[in-house]
Amino acid sequence: MAADPQYGRRHFLKDSVLSLAKTAQEFVKHRDTPSEQARKTEPPPRADWLRPPGAVAEALFLERCTKCGDCIKACPYESIKPDRTVGFPVIFPDEVPCHLCDDFPCIAACETDALLEVSGKEEVRMGQARVSHRDCTAGQGCHACVSRCPTEALAMDFDYFRLLVEPSRCVGCGICEQVCKTVNDKIAIRVVPTRVLASGGPSAGV
């Protein structure tokens, strides 16, 4: 078959360059697009977060908070982080709990009254600690969380070798949860966020 006289060296080079460019574009597109497997293995957003101390009721908090990040910057322990899904300030107690600073710089930094002043750490209501006695190693002599509780809300029942939580003293700072994660294979004590308790969520240890 005779060669097309209109198709010369110049057209051949042009088509080759265009084909190479298209191939490169397809490569970049697939390289930058997360694979189906990567999307499947990405951990789902966590729902066990706490609001910073002094937070108003959840619905009102969402109205008042502007996601400015001032409370995040003010926290000296870097306990407060932006939620990666929507950007509101949250605390993951098993990672870095709230240390209940004397002057609550996070509250002082909030200018929209999403965080309201408290007279002391005893007034904070971030959540309530709940114990899984099935996983707790108190019966084996562990009570590391008891001595670390800043409000003395934890105590040992030496009759049954069980860890007890005094709800009226617990403010939900999460220090106990972080300590438990540090010294045990399983986290036996977790803080149930105030918003969950308000909606009729878990109210007792198991």
pLDDT tens figures, 114-163: 999 999 999 999 999 999 999 999 999 999 999 999 999 999 999 989 99
State the Cα–Cα distance between residues 98 and 50, nearest whole angstrom.
9
Give pLDDT tens digits for 81-109: 999 889 999 999 999 999 999 999 999 99
Residues 120 and 28 in one domain: no
Residue in the block written with tokens 């619905």: 59
Name the burial class of residue 31, with classes exposed (0-12), middle (13-18) and buried (19+) by CB atoms within 10 angstroms of its CB. exposed
Q: Assess if residue 53 is contained within a domain.
A: no
44 or 68, which is more confident:
68
- What CATH number has the domain bearing residue 70? 3.30.70.20
β-bridge mates for residue 163, sequence order: 156
- On whether both 89 and 175 belong to a single domain, the answer is yes
Question: By the 8 A CB rule, do 78 and 69 touch?
Answer: no
17 pLDDT band (50/70/90 cuts)?
low
Number of domains in the chain: 2
Question: What is the spatial distance between Cα 58 and Cα 174, in angstroms, rounded to a whole number?
Answer: 19
Beta bridge partners, 156, equal 163
Range of the domain at 18: 9-41
Distance CA 50, CA 193 (A): 6
Question: What is residue 26's predicted lDDT score, i.e. its pLDDT?
Answer: 62
Q: Which of 1-5, 17-21, 160-164, 179-183 has the lowest mean pLDDT?
A: 1-5
